[in-house]
Amino acid sequence: MVNIKKQKKLIIANWKMNPDSLKEAISIFSGIKKTATKLRNVQTVVCPPYIFINELQKKVSGHRLVLGAQDVSMNNRGAFTGEISAIQLRGAKVGYVIVGHSERRGRGETSGDVATKIQVSLKEKLIPIVCVGESERDEHAEYLTFLRNEIEESLAHLSEKDISKIIIAYEPIWAVGVNANSADSPEDTEEAVLFIRKVLSEMFSKKIALSMNILYGGSINDKNSNFFLERAGVQGLLVGRASLKPKQFSSILNNANLI
Q: Does residue number 14 form part of the binding site for ligand PGA (CB under 6 A)?
A: yes
Closest among 158, 131, 155 to 47, alpha carbons compared: 131
Q: What is the x/- site pattern for ligand PGA, positions 206-225, by CB under 6 A? A: -----------xxxx-----
Question: Is-catalytic flag, 140?
Answer: no
Q: What is the x/- site pattern for ligand PGA, positions 96-135, by CB under 6 A? A: ----------------------------------------
Q: Does residue number 239 form part of the binding site for ligand PGA (CB under 6 A)?
A: yes
**Which residue out of 101, 109, 134, 150 is catalytically annotated?**
101
Please give the C-alpha separations between residue 190 and each of 142, 229, 239, 240, in angstroms, as whole numbers.
17, 10, 18, 20
Q: Does residue number 22 form part of the binding site for ligand PGA (CB under 6 A)?
A: no
Out of 72, 238, 253, 256, name the contact with ligand PGA by CB under 6 A: 238
Question: Is-catalytic flag, 101?
Answer: yes
67, 48 Cβ separation under 8 angstroms: yes
Q: Does residue number 176 form part of the binding site for ligand PGA (CB under 6 A)?
A: yes
Closest approach of ligand PGA to the CB of residue 161, in Å: 27
Residue with smallest beta-carbon separation from ligand PGA: 240
E strands within the chain?
9-14, 42-47, 65-69, 96-99, 127-132, 167-170, 213-217, 236-239
Closest among 123, 141, 142 to 76, alpha carbons compared: 123
176, 128 Cβ separation under 8 angstroms: no
Binding site for ligand PGA (CB under 6 A): 14, 171, 176-177, 180, 217-220, 238-241
Q: Which positions are annotated as active-site residues?
A: 101, 171
